[in-house]
Amino acid sequence: MKRTALLLALVLFLLPQFALAGGRIVLLSCYEQSGWDDLTEIGFIDEDGFAYHLYSSDRPEGFPSDALGQLSYLQEHLPEPSGRVGGRDMNSLLSLIGEADPSGITESPAGDDAGVHASWAFRYSSSGEPQAILLGKSGDTFARSPSLSNQSLYTWLHEFFPGITDYSYTEDFECPGFTPVPLTDFCHLGDLDPASPSCSIVMIQTGAQGGQTREENPGKAREFLSTAVILAKAGSLIPEADTEYVLTGKDGAEARLRFAGSLLIREDGTYQCIRSDSLSDPDEP
């Protein structure tokens, strides 16, 4: 009896490490070209965070051209996973997929001789029916969504599967994802310019035990806020803030910026925020 219990405990301990892949696909990025050097390259993520990568110098036999057809094909011809997205990141991605918007897509012709790269998100009804949501498309045709969630998911896929989406040797493959924007513009700070001496800044930090510290006009905070850029929407979940900046102008106007680590917290979710010089120097802290 003790031996059986010990074996059961060992199985339960190892189970997460050997969790079976093969959940429903929720994100798909696909590049196809034909006519010269036929090529199909596909990357996709399932709901459990397993990542898959397929490459073919010829179009896979029976591979459909529409998103739902591709979803069904890939679900039936599932390869071995090539990696896995961390649990916290996957929760953020699922929250973005939950609020992705299929409407408002603008589409226009682009290059003549390039292939087509398209990225999709998939949501499922209570009965399991999938809904395909276009995140962005580039190449022979160009499509962009006005939804920040769609743009951010496209940007994430562009970075997670660079071998699939990085066909940027021509302008036809401009990534229609989230365009980095200065924090001051994104938050509509207007005259509350953190770089201006007339704007006072109070930094309030909350410790793990709930205690708070206040610092007035900290130089590093002023430098960060005046040079920060928003890279993409991180998720729709709202975490607890650990840092708050209170900006006050000479006319008494006030703005409050709340952060959880490097994430800017807004009413609709969180946004990735870094110093602008980190865009050109990824090793900059």
Structural tokens at position 235: 């998720």
**pLDDT the model gives residue 130:** 97
Burial 84-120 (b: 16+ CB within 10 A, else e): ebeeeebebbbbbbebbeeeebeeeebbeebbbbbbb
Residues of the chain with pLDDT under 70: 1-21, 35-36, 110-114, 165-175, 278-285
Residue 251, Cβ density class (10 Å: 0-12 exposed, 13-18 middle, ≥19 buried) = exposed
**pLDDT the model gives residue 35:** 67
**pLDDT the model gives residue 10:** 41
**pLDDT the model gives residue 45:** 97
CA-wise closest residue to 228 among 263, 276, 277:
276
**pLDDT the model gives residue 171:** 54
**pLDDT the model gives residue 65:** 87
Contact 72, 50 (CB under 8 A): no
- CA–CA separation, 276 and 228 (whole Å): 5
Q: At 211, phi and psi to the nearest 5?
A: -70, 150
pTM: 0.80
**pLDDT the model gives residue 58:** 75
**pLDDT the model gives residue 165:** 58
**pLDDT the model gives residue 20:** 60
**pLDDT the model gives residue 173:** 59
**pLDDT the model gives residue 103:** 93
Q: Who contacts 153 (Cβ-Cβ below 8 Å, separation ≥6)?
A: 27, 93, 96, 97, 100, 119, 121, 135
For 246-280, the pLDDT digits (tens) are 999 988 899 999 999 999 999 999 999 998 876 55
**pLDDT the model gives residue 259:** 96
Q: Residue 116's beta-bridge partner residues?
A: 32, 139
